[in-house]
Structure 1
Amino acid sequence: MIYQKMAFGLALVATLASFTSEATQRVTTNLSKSTARHLPQIKAVAPPMVTVPFTVIQRYFVKNTVKNAPANPRIDDRATFDKLFGAAAVMGTNGLPTSIDFANQSVIAVISPETNRATELLPVSLVKRADGKLVFSYRKKTGATQTYTTRPFLAVLIDKHVTGTVVLSEQR
């Protein structure tokens, strides 16, 4: 009998994952106490998220004229990008800056304040939440003091058809 209730509960969890939290709460309340006892995960169901592919761009730097990071981390055109970044080509294989096609791609950029510490910004994930927001998660790795200052940044390419307001999330 308990296995039947557990099987029913698991099937119900899959069905309820698409309901609103209010609808889920009403159904959970109406379940018998013995069945509801086996369904505590219903309250912990997270909204669906979709992973968005991205490419980290290489061989650029933040221009000295940039005092503050832009209010919107999403860059959709060459003119805005060129106001913020300069190309930093080096000799050798893979020495050219990443090519960006603004007709088909957008850039998401995280620009940190100037620092004299060795600092690296590392991408963690980019997901589109059920509410339509794009959440770009990154991690900041801080090292030793340097004798000069730098302007750490991280920029990634995404397909332009991926829509949504970008939210930056620093992971600690």
Structure 2
Amino acid sequence: MREFVLHVHRAVINFIQGFVLTEIVLIIGFVNTANRSSKMKMLKTAAFGLALVAGPAFADGHATGDAVAGENVFSKCKACHSIVDADGEAIVKGGRNGPNLYGLYTRQAGGEEDFGRKYGKSLVEAGENGLTWDEASFVSYVADPREFLREILDDKKARSKMSFKLGDEKDAKDVWAYLVSVGPETKTN
């Protein structure tokens, strides 16, 4: 069901983008040179307003990557991580060296209860200091886990038990989008 929703979501965004671009071309083509400046200001204001209103409504608020591509990239992650829902059903069977990534975007860093004491001290400390996973922190963390923790904790001795690095930002955003797509529903305001 979530896959269907993601595809509909992308189709709506593509439709809106196409509609806005078509309207811009039509307005620019029919605006005479005397009124072009005021019409362009009005067009820019309308486009900015549409972006503000439609962005959160259609972008899911959690992820900017491609969930379908992220599913393929996640094959690199499943050597250590699995995705198992709250009912114990495996979405992706994987290793147990890393925590279950189901619902990652809803929790504090180092806070997956079943993984418990296996977390590194630095990651737990970052979570206790308020780090909760979102797209930006996830992308930075997977690019270089040790460096991320050193920066966020301002501690040159901070370490991570995760040695794997996913340096490609697009891949990291895609994996994040995939994790969000298979995770629990979240309430939006």
Compare the two structures and name the one with the higher strand fraction.
1
TM-score for both structures, normalised by structure 1: 0.33
Compare the two structures and name the one with the higher helix fraction.
2
Larger Rg: 1
